[in-house]
Chains A and B, each alone.
Chain A
């Protein structure tokens, strides 16, 4: 049994898709210690994790990222999450666009937009926008804070932290702030011919928030967090 393999793949498995025998697998399951083998989430191939933690490890068969080194992960994610919370408060308390036409000025914040949809009998849509742009990002930030703070302070993991972390990861595809930012830009140009559009404080804080949030998540080391949150030992 052979698999077509890309010889350029940088991982050790390139010369040999690791065929882990049952003895290796059995010793792995003697107790909840740090895992040395991992199954690829995309193709289920068993790979041995590298001894050296400073490398990025790809699956030998499908190329999915199995492991990536994240230096100083808890400090970095925690500080970025705190920054994101501040920016989130800013973004939701100031108008992001104001429209001037004649003597009329119309300002809008994220929440007034959602309220307007609700008033027009489009409750489903209002809930969807509320979820994807406000509630999911907020829940992600608060969840990360809840997990990371006790770890940073050297306390035992917070109650139910593993469950919270699982939820934070599960809702991630539904946080669509960067798509909303794109929507703001399109609306800006679209209304440009009609009236004078003034971008507000919120546009800038929202723009920054997207990058800070993305950075917070890419600094996160799921492997390390799962090890620390594991309460079985």
Chain B
């Protein structure tokens, strides 16, 4: 134990991820359960950086078909029209409902993109042992956890449209292949944010002092 230890880790304590009970266990011990809530105990989330990287890479790959392939296929009076996420946004801008265009653009394009950028930045900053504004980086992490869910808006819109627009020969809407890819992007980024451990940001600074 260090002389002026400040973190739980340096005191040989483990903070339960789920119920935040402080437990004294030897660091080498693997696979212990929290006596209060039964969660697995780890001083840090296991393999945090590797898992986050893997999920971020998967999300980046899925992000391409999600944006290139059509999200909805509208059949109206015999003519078929396939819309990708971006063409949907452009259509709304041109048809005058810019509020909807803005909501879809922020939720489906901006949020996943920014979230991926932030996660890459956080992982790299820990990897290269950056000491740059750790508090702001922690806030950034909390932000990604909070806003990621809103990307699901487009998936829900498609669900509702598919269920609602079934007017036989007049008009039908089908979900396109991009819907599946896009949903996977959202799920992957949510798991990626969950597997990143913000305490690593502080750990590398403590170790370097």
Q: Which residues of A contact B (CB under 8 A)?
A: 1, 4, 6, 17-20, 22, 25, 28-29, 35, 37-39, 41-46, 61-64, 97, 99, 101-102, 104, 106, 108, 112-117, 120, 122, 124-125, 128-129, 132-133, 162-163, 165-166, 169-170, 173-174, 176, 179-180, 182-184, 186-187, 189-191, 193-194, 222-223, 226, 229-230, 232
Contact = CB atoms under 8 A, between A and B. Distances in A.
B47 interface: no
Given A62-B202, A63-B139, A176 B161 contact: no
B15 A117 contact: no
B39 A106 contact: no
A166 B199 contact: no
Contact of B11 (A46, A106, A166): A46
Contacts of B100: 186, 189-190
Nearest to B198: A42
B171 to A, nearest CB: 7
B175 A39 contact: no
B171 A194 contact: yes
Contacts of A129: 155-156, 159
B142 A42 contact: yes
Contacts, number: 214
Q: For this complex, into which size category does the number of interface residues on chain B fall?
A: 35 or more
Among A45, A112, A115, A125, max chain B CB count under 10 A is at A125
Interface in B155-207: 155-157, 159-168, 170-171, 174-175, 179-180, 183, 187, 190, 194, 198-199, 201-203, 206
A114 B159 contact: yes
A186 B104 contact: yes
A44 B7 contact: yes
Nearest to B97: A189
Contact of A64 (B1, B134, B138): B138
A232 B35 contact: yes
